[in-house]
Structure 1
Amino acid sequence: MVATSYLLGVSTRRVDRLVEQMGITGISKSQVSQMSKVLDARVQAFRNRPLEGGPYAFVWLDALTQKAREGGRTVNVHVLVATAVNADGHREILGVEVSSAEDGAGWPAFLRGLVARGLSGVQLVISDAHAGLVEAIGSTLPGAAWQRCRTHYLRNLVTKVPRSARPRVATPVRTIFDQPAAEEVHSQHARVVASLQAKHPDAAQHLDEARDDLPAFTAFPRQIWRQIWSNNPQERLNKEIRRRTDVVGIFPDRTAIVRLVGAVLMEQTDEWTEGRRYMGLEFLAKARLRVIDGGPCGDETDQQAITA
């Protein structure tokens, strides 16, 4: 009961009240932590399981910061999380790791571990521009393209202009994603770069430098563009993780972070497995054909609205 309460994000104070109602005099934070260790074996089995659901055409990567005690002080550590769509069209948590820094050393080791466990068939990796991540993708996942998250990119882009001009810059950039076909996306990207050049040259240069990474989604079927052009699905998962970890605040060590976050991700994967498919099998088949054909496989059907 204590371990389940811990997993659900119930505070130690509330657990204490609950056990008192069951006739137990009280329970401390250290006792809650000790009892919650029953989760360790399950979490480790989940983290180290063979990745047998591939090929995993689309992979989302993200990192979130947590506080932990190390060497008598409180430090920030980064929790690296990988999510993918498996061959059956369901989302699946591939792995979770705690790194000292979200840098070039953390990502390659994390991705190499996923490959060793069976990650294969990756066509597109969707993420923010984390330090060292693009190089890590190239070195560990040869052949995979990188889609820079459009939501995070726009936040970065508007910092290149005065606050008063941000709406005027953001609006035309969003029109790049409104286009119904791959060719029009690239053409609109070029037009927006040209339109920004006169008044906002820094923003224009920033957008021009992203001409390969920002529209990478256009190489895949039009019907799934909205699902692969941003890291928004991963951000929703991060909110659920933070909802559970905020109750803890500062973790006693990294093992405690892995225990709680790993248990949350294990639970989420079970829910996805039992739920509806995230992507249709026909679209996954088209995405895999991209490897053979070596070209884009988008079409002009079912234009969808964009949410910023």
Structure 2
Amino acid sequence: AFRTRRLDAGPYTFVAADALVMKVREDGRVANVHAMLAVGVNADGHREILGLQTSSAEDGAGWLGFFRDLTARGLTGVRLVTSEAHAGLVAAIGATLPGASWQRCRTHYAANLMAITPKTSWPWVKTLLHSVYDQPDADSVHAQFDRLLDAVEQKLPKVAAHLDTARADVLAFSAFPKEVWRQ
């Protein structure tokens, strides 16, 4: 009943989506199952689990079915979706939530960035990246992001290129009022 309930506490302005791979027993063998989850911020400003669905693969078709189910149950008013940069997931968001902005999840992005950052540089690159999110207003966010690019450009050109390519994905939150950045 919970997984098929109407989503009538909306509008759900902000939604976060992610998946977790779990090993389960099926017919006497162990198989991977992808548990897709969406959490939204409801009209009262509280987080609410919107949906949980399992799939045999975390692919575009699975995500599209998941988001179609959410919208059919009443998911409305979404202005920003945060998720990993899985191409099928991003495409499903675009197909089912027209007009919603998309932002790459900070945690997933930091992990992707650290994968190309030399381990000895992790502490200062992480510190600079997190300083972008701690700014008081949108102009300061973008200015700090530029300072981050300047700081890594000479020593870590691959990191700088990665950051520059992901600018819009990482900074989408700054288009919203400061009061809702933490939501």
TM-score (norm 2): 0.93
Between the aligned partners of 1:90 and 1:170, the Cα distance in structure 2 is 29
Q: Secondary structure at the match of 1:75?
A: strand
Aligned mate of 1:76, from 25, 32, 38: 32
Between the aligned partners of 2:71 and 2:146, the Cα distance in structure 1 is 36
Between the aligned partners of 1:161 and 1:90, the Cα distance in structure 2 is 36
Task: Say which structure, 1 or 2, has more relative contact order (CA 8 Å, 6+ apart).
Answer: 1
Q: 1:93 and 2:93 equivalent?
A: no
Q: Secondary structure at the match of 2:60?
A: coil
Q: 1:187 and 2:143 equivalent?
A: yes
1:19-168 alignment runs, 5 A limit: 45-168=1-124
Per the TM alignment, residue 131 of structure 1 is displaced from its structure 2 partner at its CA by 4.4
Name the amino acid aligned to 1:206.
Answer: H
Q: 1:175 and 2:175 equivalent?
A: no
Q: 1:204 and 2:171 equivalent?
A: no
Partners of 1:66 and 1:77 within 8 A in 2? yes
After the TM superposition, which segments of 4 or more aligned residues of structure 1 sit over 6 Å from their partners? none
Structure that is richer in helix per residue: 1
Per the TM alignment, residue 88 of structure 1 is displaced from its structure 2 partner at its CA by 2.4
Structure that is richer in strand per residue: 2
- Answer with 1 or 2: which has the greater Rg: 1
Contiguous gaps of at least 5 residues in structure 1: 1-44, 228-308
Per the TM alignment, residue 71 of structure 1 is displaced from its structure 2 partner at its CA by 5.0
Per the TM alignment, residue 223 of structure 1 is displaced from its structure 2 partner at its CA by 2.3
Count matched residues: 183
Work out the percentage of aligned pairs sharing the same amino acid: 58
Q: 1:145 to 1:47 in 2, by over 3 A?
A: same
1:285-296 alignment runs, 5 A limit: none
Between the aligned partners of 1:148 and 1:195, the Cα distance in structure 2 is 22
Between the aligned partners of 1:190 and 1:104, the Cα distance in structure 2 is 33
Name the amino acid aligned to 1:192.
Answer: L
Q: Secondary structure at the match of 2:48?
A: strand
Name the amino acid aligned to 2:5.
Answer: R
Contiguous gaps of at least 5 residues in structure 2: none
Partners of 1:78 and 1:99 within 8 A in 2? yes
TM-score (norm 1): 0.57
Q: Secondary structure at the match of 1:195?
A: helix
Per the TM alignment, residue 221 of structure 1 is displaced from its structure 2 partner at its CA by 1.9
Deviations 1:228-268 (A, max 9, x none): xxxxxxxxxxxxxxxxxxxxxxxxxxxxxxxxxxxxxxxxx
1:184-263 alignment runs, 5 A limit: 184-227=140-183
Per the TM alignment, residue 164 of structure 1 is displaced from its structure 2 partner at its CA by 1.1
Between the aligned partners of 2:123 and 2:55, the Cα distance in structure 1 is 36
Partners of 1:102 and 1:131 within 8 A in 2? no
Q: Secondary structure at the match of 1:210?
A: helix
Q: 1:88 to 1:175 in 2, by over 3 A?
A: closer
Query: RMSD of the TM alignment (CA)?
Result: 1.5
Between the aligned partners of 2:102 and 2:27, the Cα distance in structure 1 is 37
